[in-house]
Structures are given as structure tokens and as C-alpha cells.
Amino acid sequence: MSQTSKPAAVLATVVIVQFMVSLDLSVVNVALPAIQAEFALPATTLQWVVNAYAVVFGGFLLLGGRLGDVIGRRRTMIAGLVLFGSASLVGGLATHESLLIGARAVQGLGAAALSPLSLALITVTFEEGQARTKAVGLWAAATMLGGALGVVASGLLTDFADWRWVLLINVPIVLAALATAVRGIGGAVEQQRPRLDVVGAVLVTASMLLLIFGVVRTDQHGWASAVTAVTLGAGALLLAAFVAVELRVRDPLMRLGLLAHGSVAGANVFGFMITAGQLTAFYFVSLHMQSVLQYSPATAGVCFVPFALGAVAGMRLVAPLVDRFGHRAALVTGGLLGAVGIAWFGAGGPGGTFLTDILGPSIVASIGIGISFVVMGTIAMRGVSAEEAGMASGLLNSSRQLGGALGLAVLTTVAATVTGADHTPAGLSDGYSTAFLLGGALIAAGTVIAGLLVSRTAVEPSDAKAPVQG
């Protein structure tokens, strides 16, 4: 017999998990100088405190998404939480840099199971329509708030406590998520589950690891270097082999027919492009405040609060926008606002202040991104069967993660090229401004492409409520 899932507890679990996973994408950023000082790390090693999480997270997302469909969502959720919490504890208590970096990699592995599972649980628990839109809105709010408040928490904890708390803070969050998951997510159901596509899993995981690894290493090995060419080329070949395998197996890890739906394809293109621009904004706004405006880590962190509040405001606008104008119009509206806001950051300079350089673009960008994230999450999953919910969620998360890694790598290279040897506030500001303008252009391009792919109503809603699977 299966346990019956409790929607309120499922939603609480999803929100807690998504907040935590998003928090950890940014929470160590402001703490990096303190970590570097404690372990005497060279810059080439320090970057792997961030990259170890990002590379493993992105590399295992498709497998993590499908795992919940195959072995059960309750089991996958509990295993992912235990893995994530244990790694956070080890990382927070680490006495050597290798232990810290290894713990961050294991955190990424746990996050790769948890993040796609959160959106999949919404899909199989809530009917299409208003109930699911509200649930996706809370999922999107957790995503945005986790990313924004991660920077705030990092600055405050680093300045007033110890950098180790940016990892140890996850332990009570994991315990809260475990409590709601055990109580609310239904157990195994009596039905035949799809088999795990082992060959496909190996190919796509290796491919994603190589592609993301190749991209994040471009700061050490340039885009034209042999190392980068071989790494990215091998990743592309493995991805092609994965596609060939998926076209032939009975239970594919990723059913390529999903991308034939305009809504799914549009959501993934949009997710790729907007994450590239959004991560660029988080990264360069933090640098701009500390290197150009000369703010302390704590002050820089607190300055992200308007972004978090604007995102919540944007999410509250989704329902009336969709009801009146449809999903496509809401997505395009949010995307263009986000693009304008990110590009607006590029107008800042050494003589600026929070009011002139940060507040206005933060509000515009966050409202737009808040709107578009909810719509993106909704249209990416509409019309997807319960059996493929994890697959579709893993695909969206993979698109976002790869877009973020690629966008940040490209735009940091561009910013460094523009800045050159001039590391004065003015020189740094020139590089950051260029990155902001290009980040806004990426979001605008993604918005236009998604607008062409997504129909006005996204897809016809399903009449039946999908059964909850453990």
C-alpha cells in the first residue's frame, strides 16, 4: 500500500528544499576572501569552492531528475537531504581545503537529486490551473529568495560570525525539510516503474560534467586553448552519443519528444538565457559594490534585499497577467523587464551610490525575473505526464545550470578583457558595465525566442489530476 501525500506538507518540503539549494549556489561567494585567508589558498584553488558545487550539480541534474521517477520520489528526497546535510556538516567543520572542496562536490550531488524533484513533486501533487500556478509561484519565490538572500547571509555571517556558518546553516534547514518530507510525501506505489537507462545516464552525466567543467576552467585555459577545445569537444561527442542512445531505448532517461512541445522547448531556451543573465548580475553587482563602491561584505549583502522583495512582488503579478493576457505575454513582459533591469546596472560607475546604481535596476530586474520564473516553471511542466515529471524538471534545471555556467564564464572573460591592466575602480567598472549590457542582451534574446516558441496559452491543460507517486 502507498501512503497518501499531503499537499501542504509536500509544498512545505518543496519550498524549503528549493530555497536551500538556491541559497548554496551563492552563499559562499562573499565568504571567499575569508576562506582564502584561513587556508592560504591560491586563486586557482579558491574558485573550486564554488565550482565543485556548480559542476557536480549541473552534471548530475538529468540523472537526478529521472531517479525520482524510477526509484520513487520519497526515497530520492530523503537520500538527497541526508547527502546534502552530511556534506554541509563536513564542509563547515573542514580543517583542510581538499575536505572543504570535496564536501561542496557532495553537496552538489545531493542538490542534483533535490532540485528537479521539487518541481516534479508540484506537478504530480497539484492539478493544472490555479492551484499549480500558486505552487509554482512559491517554488519560484524560494528559488529567487534563496539566490538573493544567500548573498545577504554570506555577508552577515562572514562579518559577524564565521565563514563556516555559511555551510553549517544548512543543517537545521535539512532537518526541517526531512521532517516535512517524511510526514508529507507518499511512499512507494504499486505500479510498474520505468527502468533506469544506465547507458544514457552515464553518457549525459559525463557529457554535462565535461561541458560545465570546460566552461568554468576558461579563466585558466582560454577559449582557444587545446585544453578547452578537447574538454568541450569530448563533452559534445558524448552528448551526441546520448541523443543517439535515447532515440533507441524503451525507457529513455530523456525522451527527446518532450522538446517537440513548444512550451517545453521555449521554457528551456528561456531558462538557459535568463539564468546566464541573472547569475551574471548577482556576480558582478556583488563585485561592483565591493570593488567600485567600496562596500563591506555585510553592506553589500544587505543591498540585495530590494532584489528579493522585488522578486516577490513580481510573482504576485503572475496570476492576473496570465488570466488576462496568457502565458506568452506574461513571459515576454517579465523577460523584457528583466533584460532592461540587468542592462541598467551597466550605467553605474565609481561615483555612484546605492540609490543611483543599485536600487532602481534591482527593482526592475527582480520584478521581471520574478514574473518570468513562475511562468517558465509552469509552462515547462504543463502537459507532462506524472511518469515524466522528473525528466522534464531535470531538463529545465539542466538548461538553467548550463546557461548560468556558460554565461558567467563568457561574461567574466569579456569583463576581464575590457578592464585589462586597469584595476582601478574606473577600470573595473568599465568591465562590469559591459558584462551587464551583454547579460541584458542575453535575456532579451531568450525572451524573443521563447515568445516565438510558446503559444499564447502555453498548452491545453490536462483534465485529469496526475496521481502522486512516491
Residue range 45-79, pLDDT digits in tens = 777 887 788 778 877 887 887 888 788 888 899 99
One domain for residues 244 and 361: no
State the residue range of the domain holding 62.
7-196+251-453
Find how far residue 303's CA is from the centre of its chain: 21
Write out the E strands in 133-213. Answer: none
The residue out of 208, 229, 250 marking a domain boundary is 250
CATH number for position 27: 1.20.1250.20
Residue 152 lies in a domain: yes
One domain for residues 61 and 156: yes
One domain for residues 219 and 280: no
SS (H, E, C) 244-293: HHHCCCCCCCCCHHHHHCHHHHHHHHHHHHHHHHHHHHHHHHHHHHHHHC
One domain for residues 166 and 311: yes
Three cell numbers at 38?
A: 584561513
How far apart CA 88 and CA 32 sit, in angstroms, is 16
The pLDDT value recorded for residue 460 is 39
The pLDDT value recorded for residue 4 is 63
The pLDDT value recorded for residue 78 is 93
One domain for residues 343 and 228: no
The pTM assigned to this predicted structure is 0.79
DSSP 3-state of 420 = coil
CB burial of residue 460 (10 Å; 0-12, 13-18, 19+): exposed
The pLDDT value recorded for residue 192 is 58
Averages of pLDDT over runs of 10 residues in the chain (470 residues) are: 70 92 80 85 78 81 80 89 96 94 93 87 80 82 80 78 90 95 72 71 84 76 85 92 87 78 88 88 84 84 85 88 90 95 92 89 94 88 74 82 81 85 88 94 95 65 38
Residue 317 lies in a domain: yes
Q: Minimal CA–CA distance to 53: which of 213, 258, 284, 236?
A: 213
The pLDDT value recorded for residue 12 is 92
Q: What are phi and psi of 455, to 5 degrees?
A: -75, 170
